[in-house]
Structure 1
Amino acid sequence: MVCVLQNKMWICLLYLYLGPVLAGPMDEFRAIVHEGDLSMNDDVLLKQIVPSGYSPQFISESTDSRLPKIDDKDNENFRTFLNYVEKGVTQKGLVFNIYDDDMRNASIALFRILRDTRIYNRVDYERLKKWSSANVNDDMFEYAKRLTSLYSSSRGSEEKFLPPFIFKPNFFVNGETIMKAMFIRNNEGKISDSILKNYQVFKIDDKIAINTNYSGWNIPLNGCDEQISYFKDDVALNSYYYGIHLMHPFWMPSEELDEMNPKHAEHFYYKHQQLLARYRLEKEHLGTKVEKSSKQTCDPEYNPYLYYDNGLAFPTRSSILGDMKEDIAKLKSIDIAIKECIYRGLVFIDGTFIKVTSDNYIGLMTKLIRANLDGVRSAKIVRSIFGYGNNGHPVDRYNPTPSLLHHPQTTLRDPVYWFLMERGLDYFSEYTNNSEPTDISKYETDEFNILKIEPTKLMTTFEFNLINLNKAIEGNKSRSISTINNYIYARQRRLNYLPFTINITVASKATKDVIVRLFIGPRCGESCWNSYLRFFQLDCYRHTLNEGLNTISWDPESSARYVSFNEKEFEDKIGESYNIYKFPRNLVLPKGLEEGLNLTAFVMITEDESLIETDIKLNPTLYQQFSNEIDNKPLGFPFHKQCGLFSDSAPNYRFFNVTVFHAKNLNVDSDGYFSPHLY
């Protein structure tokens, strides 16, 4: 009995709404294996999210629509892309959906042409970019350019990009704000005072600002995620998840990603595990309000509050499951088979039996989970079931409306996706809970003795940010020909923190380079090691200790781990490229309480161990710069799995209590547009 690893299967995450499978797995597992593999071969199960094969009568009349020839015009990618151009798949005005077969294949072909010409023929590269800017779907072109910048080994000047929330504001900012901005634009700013007041529009210096809330702000609370909508809807967090998608495209073969980074699968797992840990921390300030299981409290109905460029709203989800019994049965069968893989601890890859061990389980299981969450075929079923629910999906070829789950920039807004993420990570827990724990005693040392840990006051607050909406209302017009003299901004209250420092006093027996690991997690008393999945890593960095007493001072501003932005305003211009591959700094701390939210932090100091050659041999690309590896320990160590043989008095690691306060703004708007929990 063998578990076969395929790139086209999906780990069924149906605990949430279907409940656990009660029947024994053996018979169904045998039936699936006898099919030859675990992949989805029944095309009738594969739901076409957006009908492909557009056949427009023209591509563009305002510019030369002919694809410029390149030196290597017989290149397979060039021929593929030309074919999709002639079919009209790449034309402007269509809603871009990377899960549509034709759009995805066209995007991949364009990316590979851009990547190759950027390396070998910069003249062709610039010609192709200029032509694509005039003729290719804007979102498709931006997607291909970002991939090119990330994966190209060319050492030329790096491409600069607008932040995703400036390039595509309507994917990040509530639709009612976009509509108000268009109203202001259409009236050239000549609007009565009463309308401005009721629309929550203000003049700030030379800017027009519209007060902007988050999804679900005007409906009764149902016990789910409305009170942390500021977190899951945060423009920087959703931009970061777009970066995760680009680092781990569901359509890119594992072999190709292995060449970029042999540990890419571990990175994929680690980033999702950390996202979920941070999500759970954000709920800590709600206390008993979130103690009940999310299965019982969360209503599957969801309204995204977003609009597409074509004027259509993102689809609402009336209920989580429609008449999809055949699809669900197939997914349940795959779920059973994956559990059988875990139970047997044996995987069959490329004609070779591989035993799942404590050393390789993260990589092997992550490849399973990655393939099954975002397999090219099965991803359509997942997004059809969980993205649309009973509503089905629109079939109009020129005005499709994919769900939130069809865009990495909007996926985290949907509460369902966090539950799917949790169920996917449950497979790791199922394995690690039945395997030998990590022996922490091996990493104890008296070379470094942590004497004292003194954080300054930890304080969160909500701050106003102005987000430029020009791209949503003016398209690619420059400011000089805009219909009004002022830019229009969304004015959002976003979670942030007041500057703080964590000071750690350490006695060292010698001058040595060390690795400092710093985490924050829930209040856990004596059971902190059992809560390993709930700890969020604040940092992991190299530091030099001198013989004798040392003070290690850490603050988020000095960390290279977070995206660097201090601006309260994001303009519609390309300057320093916004880094979507780093976690947003404003979310480093979960929201505190006025009276203080008790949490637990952890620090561990170990001797610096140089990475072996195979660990650091990565392609010289931008991709390489965003590796979180600093030594040969697993990412997230020591909270990457269950631990044993730990000591409460170890000299070089320690849990300590921290309290996060919240500076509440007492000047709540009398009109009540901003939700009460945003103060």
Structure 2
Amino acid sequence: MTIHDRQIAVLKLYKYLSVATVTGGVHEDDDVDARLHGIGKGVSTSEIFSCFYPKHLEAAEKLYKVLYEAKSFDDFIHLAEQARTIVNPSLFAFATEVALLHRPDCKGLSVPNIQEVFSDKFIPAATLIRAFIEASVKTPGDESDVVVDVKEHGTILDPEHKLAYYREDVEVNAHHWHWHIVYPSTWDAKYFGKSKDRKGELFYYMHQQMCARYDCERLSNGLQRMVPFHNFDEELEGYAPHLTHIGSGRYYSSRPDHMTLHDLSEVDVLDMIRWRERIMQAINLRHVIDEHNKEIPLDEEHGVDILGALIESSHDSVNKEFYGSLHNWGHIMMSNIHDPDGRFQETPGVMTDTATSLRDPIFYRFHRFIDNVFQEYKVSLPEYTREQLNFPDVEVVGARVHSDIDNVIHTYMVMDELELSHCMNFGTAASVKARYHRLDHDAYSYSISVQNNGSTIKHGTVRIFLAPVHDELGNDLSLDEQRYLFIEMDKFKTELRPGKNTIIRGSFDSSITLSRQNTFAKLEHGSDIDENLTEYCSCGWPSHLLVPRGNEKGMDFDLFVMVTDWEKDKVESAHDDPLCTDAVSYCGVIDDKYPDKKAMGFPFDRYISSDREKFLSPNMRLTKIIIKHDE
């Protein structure tokens, strides 16, 4: 079987997956492989699957272990073909992708974009219904595409409506789904025989960057920075997702304004308060207590990683019973706020699902609350010293952005399309697409001038960040205020010869962004298949959202460039040529160490007491640039 044949076999698992349990033809009482007996029990096929909910996670873990242990690729497909007809579709998609990601015989294979598999998680119900109507009236033989526009479903009465283009972006929500598959909270390093390096810290950093990016978008739209969720009794703003759920024929529920959290059958609001206080106490004492009552220090090297596992909480939590699951249960509580005891049998809201939760404004406020817990730990660490920040003999003498106009980046809205015909059968052989607006930006490059005053070649790590200059009132932000807003734009290794060096780096080379899109069409064609790649390579931030929106007048940003000593940053790799190093900042490297010894977000992950002049060492450079949005 060729690699393309195997890719086609994987694609068939995901075609019309939403209705697989209805149309598959295999049922629990039929001749199902014994290894699948009991798999998926407790999670009905019509439920909205959540990888935040312990019961759902447990069921998904059982399935991905069965699939991971399959004797061969053919056996893997055999088990998966049967499992897709008896278990919850989203649970199946989650578990199958985790198994495929780590099976050695699945190298080079990819799962199609989750937005094509479950279009109902990304496209409003009204648009899907309109697509059905237009497809149904096509005349026989008409194979022209059916293209339906996604209509706005909010108004300016809701200030958050200005940010809908960002929160409801198809690819940013797909990124969140994929990240939680690459880093499932149930990951057991002992079972798989390999660990996910700095997994807890990646949980912290990826979500911290999401919050920073969201605040940059808010300031771009004339809104104030978000007010963190901070009080478990506070009234929450409302949100209406307008999404259907094909698997059940129901919907993702709305949340009216002014609702507050209530106890669930499995967890109380007081549990959440206790968990937060215990974690804060651990930060203040600089140690956590493991399940054997042993003190584990929260040191500079491992502290944030330990806290990340604790707060999520993941399998690596040192004491899940005592510190609980602040993050996961927070998602579940907020998604069930409208029917906490289930008396009305309402479906949960979008906060329950990693593919939809970023659509809700409360996601960002809740994660700013989570990030503030991490920041309590970060500010307890000593400030970086001049020695830790400096790179002797290396001076960044200039940094510019090259675009149509130097140091000006233009953003704008463009039209994009999502193929719907792989999610549901529209009764036509023609392509059926949803057309929507999304943010994009000009291609640009960095030109960085670096002086090596030494007599030998040096190797450096170039770190590029971006942050707004002014707050919502137009006042200059201090450097310590900016550090919560600095978004990482790129990070890469460079060689510095004695004398002057000019480094050119294109925006499309960013270590943040996704390098490829695995559409059904591309995977079916097979032209993009590379047996040296893995499904892991689909992790990364959407390239069109690399740059914040800016505003129509032109918004001032600080471009920060720093070059550090690569000899001190480098990590010994288990592989000569690690896979998928194009989006390592948020996603790491599969089966290998995170390729940077520095703390994620360095040098903005710790408190900065000094002003700009005192903080900046010769190997740093701040340059004012403008981001202008063209309507």
TM over 0.5: yes
CA contact (8 A) 1:508 1:547 kept: yes
CA contact (8 A) 2:313 2:328 kept: no
CA distance in 1, matches of 2:272, 2:291: 24
CA distance in 1, matches of 2:462, 2:289: 38
Task: Report the counterpart of residue 563 of structure 1 in structure 2.
Answer: 514
Say yes or no: does 1:320 pair with 2:259.
Answer: yes
CA contact (8 A) 2:219 2:225 kept: no
1:173 Cα deviation from its structure 2 partner: 1.0
CA contact (8 A) 2:180 2:354 kept: yes
Please tell me the residue identity of whatever aligns with 2:260.
Answer: L
Say yes or no: does 1:371 pair with 2:371.
Answer: no
SS at 2:38's partner residue?
helix
Task: Report the counterpart of residue 167 of structure 1 in structure 2.
Answer: 117
Residue deviations 1:228-258 (CA, integer Å, cap 9, x gap)? 1111111111111112211332334576699
Task: Report the counterpart of residue 111 of structure 1 in structure 2.
Answer: 64
Match of 2:340 among 367, 373, 392: 392
Task: Report the counterpart of residue 521 of structure 1 in structure 2.
Answer: 467
Say yes or no: does 1:356 pair with 2:298.
Answer: yes
Worse overlay, 593-602 or 325-334: 325-334
Match of 1:486 among 410, 430, 440: 430
CA distance in 2, matches of 1:220, 1:489: 27
Query: In the TM superposition, what are the counterparts of 1:14-53 in structure 2 within 5 Å?
Result: none
CA distance in 2, matches of 1:257, 1:523: 46
CA distance in 1, matches of 2:328, 2:218: 31
SS at 1:283's partner residue?
helix
Say yes or no: does 1:501 pair with 2:501.
Answer: no
Residue deviations 1:148-178 (CA, integer Å, cap 9, x gap)? 12233x1544332111111111101112111
Say yes or no: does 1:218 pair with 2:154.
Answer: yes
CA distance in 1, matches of 2:504, 2:295: 48
Residue deviations 1:513-561 (CA, integer Å, cap 9, x gap)? 2110000111065722442121111111111122222211122212343
CA distance in 2, matches of 1:355, 1:403: 38
Please tell me the residue identity of whatever aligns with 1:625.
Answer: V
Task: Report the counterpart of residue 195 of structure 1 in structure 2.
Answer: none
Task: Report the counterpart of residue 290 of structure 1 in structure 2.
Answer: 224
CA distance in 1, matches of 2:194, 2:24: 42
Task: Report the counterpart of residue 83 of structure 1 in structure 2.
Answer: 38
CA contact (8 A) 1:265 1:363 kept: yes
CA contact (8 A) 1:597 1:659 kept: yes
1:357 Cα deviation from its structure 2 partner: 2.8
CA distance in 2, matches of 1:257, 1:532: 37
CA distance in 1, matches of 2:235, 2:549: 21
SS at 2:483's partner residue?
helix
CA contact (8 A) 2:399 2:561 kept: no
Say yes or no: does 1:421 pair with 2:367.
Answer: yes
Task: Report the counterpart of residue 478 of structure 1 in structure 2.
Answer: none
SS at 1:83's partner residue?
coil
Query: In the TM superposition, what are the counterparts of 1:223-238 in structure 2 within 5 Å?
Result: 223=159, 225-238=160-173
Does the C-alpha gap of structure 1 residues 255 and 520 become closer, same or farther in structure 2, counting only changes over 3 Å?
farther
Worse overlay, 300-309 or 607-616: 607-616
Residue deviations 1:412-471 (CA, integer Å, cap 9, x gap)? 111111111101111122233344212144331342221221212311111100111113
CA contact (8 A) 2:389 2:617 kept: no
State the percentage of identical aligned residues. Answer: 18
Residue deviations 1:239-292 (CA, integer Å, cap 9, x gap)? 1111221133233457669942241111111111111111111112123x3258
Residue deviations 1:309-340 (CA, integer Å, cap 9, x gap)? 03312111124315549922232222222222
Task: Report the counterpart of residue 150 of structure 1 in structure 2.
Answer: 101
1:305 Cα deviation from its structure 2 partner: 1.1
Does the C-alpha gap of structure 1 residues 346 and 222 become closer, same or farther in structure 2, counting only changes over 3 Å?
same
Query: In the TM superposition, what are the counterparts of 1:229-628 in structure 2 within 5 Å?
Result: 229-253=164-188, 259-287=194-222, 289-290=223-224, 293=227, 300-309=237-246, 310-318=248-256, 319-321=258-260, 323-324=262-263, 327-351=268-292, 352-371=294-313, 381-392=329-340, 401-456=347-402, 457-474=408-425, 483-509=427-453, 510-523=456-469, 527-565=478-516, 574=524, 576=528, 579-609=537-567, 625-626=589-590
SS at 1:209's partner residue?
strand
Does the C-alpha gap of structure 1 residues 330 and 526 become closer, same or farther in structure 2, counting only changes over 3 Å?
closer
Task: Report the counterpart of residue 176 of structure 1 in structure 2.
Answer: 126
Q: How many residues align?
A: 566
SS at 2:418's partner residue?
strand
CA distance in 1, matches of 2:170, 2:261: 31
1:596 Cα deviation from its structure 2 partner: 0.6
Please tell me the residue identity of whatever aligns with 2:255.
Answer: R
Please tell me the residue identity of whatever aligns with 1:370.
Answer: E
Task: Report the counterpart of residue 473 of structure 2 in structure 1.
Answer: none
CA contact (8 A) 1:462 1:493 kept: yes
CA contact (8 A) 1:177 1:212 kept: yes
Does the C-alpha gap of structure 1 residues 613 and 293 become closer, same or farther in structure 2, counting only changes over 3 Å?
closer
CA contact (8 A) 1:97 1:402 kept: no
Please tell me the residue identity of whatever aligns with 2:310.
Answer: L
Does the C-alpha gap of structure 1 residues 489 and 628 become closer, same or farther in structure 2, counting only changes over 3 Å?
farther
CA contact (8 A) 1:84 1:90 kept: no
CA distance in 2, matches of 1:91, 1:340: 39
1:392 Cα deviation from its structure 2 partner: 3.4
Does the C-alpha gap of structure 1 residues 253 and 396 become closer, same or farther in structure 2, counting only changes over 3 Å?
farther
SS at 1:600's partner residue?
strand
Task: Report the counterpart of residue 604 of structure 2 in structure 1.
Answer: 639
Residue deviations 1:377-428 (CA, integer Å, cap 9, x gap)? 777753453113234365798xx72321221111111111111110111112
CA contact (8 A) 2:197 2:594 kept: no
CA contact (8 A) 1:276 1:418 kept: yes
CA distance in 2, matches of 1:61, 1:446: 65
CA distance in 2, matches of 1:385, 1:625: 33
CA distance in 2, matches of 1:649, 1:64: 65
| Greater Cα radius of gyration, structure 1 or 2 | 1
CA distance in 2, matches of 1:438, 1:459: 35
Please tell me the residue identity of whatever aligns with 2:566.
Answer: D
CA contact (8 A) 1:281 1:521 kept: yes
SS at 2:467's partner residue?
strand
Worse overlay, 552-561 or 646-655: 646-655
Structure 2 segments unaligned to the other structure (5+ residues): 1-20, 403-407, 471-475, 530-534, 581-586
Please tell me the residue identity of whatever aligns with 1:634.
Answer: A
Query: In the TM superposition, what are the counterparts of 1:65-144 in structure 2 within 5 Å?
Result: 66=30, 69=33, 78=35, 81-84=36-39, 95-98=48-51, 103-117=56-70, 120-144=71-95
Say yes or no: does 1:659 pair with 2:626.
Answer: yes
Worse overlay, 628-637 or 262-271: 628-637
CA distance in 1, matches of 2:624, 2:569: 33
Does the C-alpha gap of structure 1 residues 295 and 380 become closer, same or farther in structure 2, counting only changes over 3 Å?
closer
CA distance in 1, matches of 2:72, 2:113: 28
CA distance in 1, matches of 2:577, 2:72: 20
Say yes or no: does 1:62 pair with 2:7.
Answer: no
Worse overlay, 333-342 or 522-531: 522-531
Match of 2:595 among 601, 626, 630: 630
